[in-house]
Chains A and B, each alone.
Chain A
Amino acid sequence: EPEVTQTPSHQVTQMGQEVILRCVPISNHLYFYWYRQILGQKVEFLVSFYNNEISEKSEIFDDQFSVERPDGSNFTLKIRSTKLEDSAMYFCASTRDSVGNEQFFGPGTRLTVL
């Protein structure tokens, strides 16, 4: 069964460093998302992406964040200058089209900012 994959599974970084989180969505999916979940908190939407551009973004997704689909298979989330409060689980998700309801989630990347 096709699945969303994410790398790395765990990333530890120093405050102020840049990190890139990688995702490979399901191959025939067209809509991509990043969510985050701070430990003990709810899953929160960051950004959605379609047709090589951002469709929607939340208040969390400020100028420190960017997304890219560099090569037709990977979908990346970059945090330019990490803060302690960026420590969270970051989930990538994808869905096939605007009719399909289910967003399929990847296993997540646990980001720890020291």
Chain B
Amino acid sequence: RKEVEQDPGPFNVPEGATVAFNCTYSNSASQSFFWYRQDCRKEPKLLMSVYSSGNEDGRFTAQLNRASQYISLLIRDSKLSDSATYLCVVSLLSGNTPLVFGKGTRLSVIA
């Protein structure tokens, strides 16, 4: 049973496109939700936390549906620099509990 499941992609989109990623998680006790970004052979870096009310940070919008155990990330006006792997991450509590990672969705933005 996969704890955090994502479409691996790759998603190949032109610059300026809007792209959406989805993620499902299996543990209904999960309390904290995140999207991390990972460039090739680099460390994961926090892109944004995901709240029940949904949240937006510039071109990025994240949504959480606890009933469906579903998380989404929308990227508008894609840039070449958005090319990376996007990791859906959950944890049981905030702060000092282990993060559970999805395998990631690969995005390539093409000029």
Contacts from A to B (Cβ < 8 Å):
31, 33, 35, 41-45, 48, 50, 55-56, 58, 89, 91, 95, 97-103, 105-108, 110
Contact = CB atoms under 8 A, between A and B. Distances in A.
Nearest to B46: A102
A45 B95 contact: no
Contacts of B4: 42
Interface string B79-111: 000000001000001111111111110000000
B97 A56 contact: yes
Contacts of A89: 41
Contacts of B101: 42-44
A108 B95 CA distance: 21
Given A101-B32, A105-B43, A108-B43, A45 B100 contact: yes
Contacts of A50: 96
B27 to A, nearest CB: 13
B99 A103 contact: yes
A43 to B, nearest CB: 4
Given A43-B87, A98-B93, A107-B43, 20 more contacts: A35-B99, A42-B4, A42-B101, A43-B44, A44-B101, A45-B99, A48-B97, A48-B98, A50-B96, A56-B98, A89-B41, A95-B96, A98-B94, A98-B95, A99-B95, A101-B49, A102-B46, A105-B45, A108-B42, A108-B43
B43 A31 contact: no
B21 interface: no
A47 to B, nearest CB: 9
Nearest to A55: B96
B34 interface: yes
Given A91-B44, A102-B46, A106-B43, A58 B95 contact: no
A45 B44 contact: no
Nearest to B101: A43
